[in-house]
Structure 1
Amino acid sequence: MANIQCLDPTASPLDYYGWELRRQREAHGLKQGQLGDIIFCTGSLVGQIETTKKVPTRDFSERVDAALGTDGLFSRLIGLVLRSQLPAWFQPYAEMEAKAAYISTYQAQLVYGLLQTEEYARAVLATGMPDDLEGLLAARMERQRILERERPPLAWVVLDEAVLHRPIGGPEVMRRQLARLLEFASHRWMHVQVLPNKAGAHASLAGSFNFLRFDDNLDIVYTEDIISGHMTANPETVREAALRYARLQAAAHSVEDSAELIIRVMEERYGVCSQPEEPSVA
Structure 2
Amino acid sequence: MADTNEFRHLLRKLRTERGMSQDALGAEVHISGSQIGHYESGRSVPVDDMAERLEQALGAGGELRSAADRSRGEAVAPWLRSWADNEGRAIALRTFEHSVIPGLLQTESYARAIIGVGEHTPEQIEEAVRIRLARQATVLDRPDPAILTAIIGEGALCPRGAIMKAQLEHLVDLGCRPNVHVRVVPFSAGLHPGMAGTFAVATLPDGTTVVYLDALGEGVVGSHVRDVRHAVVTWESVNARALPCDMSRDLILKAIDNHDSRVA
TM-score band by shorter chain is: 0.5 to 0.7
User: Residue in 2 aligned with 1:152?
Assistant: 145
User: Residue in 1 aligned with 2:45?
Assistant: none
| Pairs within 5 Å for 1:198-213 | 198-213=188-203
**Does the aligned pair in 2 maintain the 1:100–1:153 contact within 8 Å?**
yes
Q: Distance in 2 between matches of 1:134 and 1:240?
A: 34
Deviation at 1:181, TM superposition (A): 0.4
2:154 counterpart of 1:161: yes
User: Residue in 2 aligned with 1:55?
Assistant: none
User: Residue in 2 aligned with 1:140?
Assistant: 132
| Pairs within 5 Å for 1:76-91 | none
Going from structure 1 to structure 2, the CA distance change for 1:222 and 1:166 (only over 3 Å counts) comes to: farther
Runs of 4+ in 1 over 3 A off after TM superposition: 269-274
**Does the aligned pair in 1 maintain the 2:159–2:259 contact within 8 Å?**
no
Q: Distance in 1 between matches of 2:234 and 2:215?
A: 19
Q: Distance in 1 between matches of 2:151 and 2:108?
A: 20
| Pairs within 5 Å for 1:120-269 | 120-131=110-121, 132=123, 133-146=125-138, 147-165=140-158, 167=160, 170=161, 172-216=162-206, 218-269=208-259
How many residue pairs get matched?
A: 182
Q: Distance in 2 between matches of 1:204 and 1:121?
A: 22
Report the identity percentage.
28
Superimposed CA distance per residue, residues 154-210 of structure 1 (whole angstroms, 9 cap, x where no aligned partner): 10000000000151xx1x210000000001333211100000011002132211111
Deviation at 1:134, TM superposition (A): 1.6
- Tell me how large the CA RMSD over aligned residues is: 2.1
**Does the aligned pair in 2 maintain the 1:211–1:220 contact within 8 Å?**
yes
2:88 to 98, 101, 107: 98
What secondary structure is seen at the aligned counterpart in 1 of 2:253? Answer: helix
- Which protein has greater RCO, CA pairs closer than 8 Å, 6+ apart? 2
Q: Distance in 2 between matches of 1:248 and 1:145?
A: 27
Going from structure 1 to structure 2, the CA distance change for 1:135 and 1:267 (only over 3 Å counts) comes to: same
Deviation at 1:240, TM superposition (A): 2.7
**Does the aligned pair in 2 maintain the 1:175–1:266 contact within 8 Å?**
yes
Q: Distance in 2 between matches of 1:105 and 1:92?
A: 16
Superimposed CA distance per residue, residues 111-136 of structure 1 (whole angstroms, 9 cap, x where no aligned partner): 11111000001101111232322222
Which residue identity lines up with residue 182 of structure 1 in the other structure? V
Q: Please, which runs of 5 or more residues in structure 1 have no aligned partner? A: 1-90, 275-282
Deviation at 1:257, TM superposition (A): 0.3
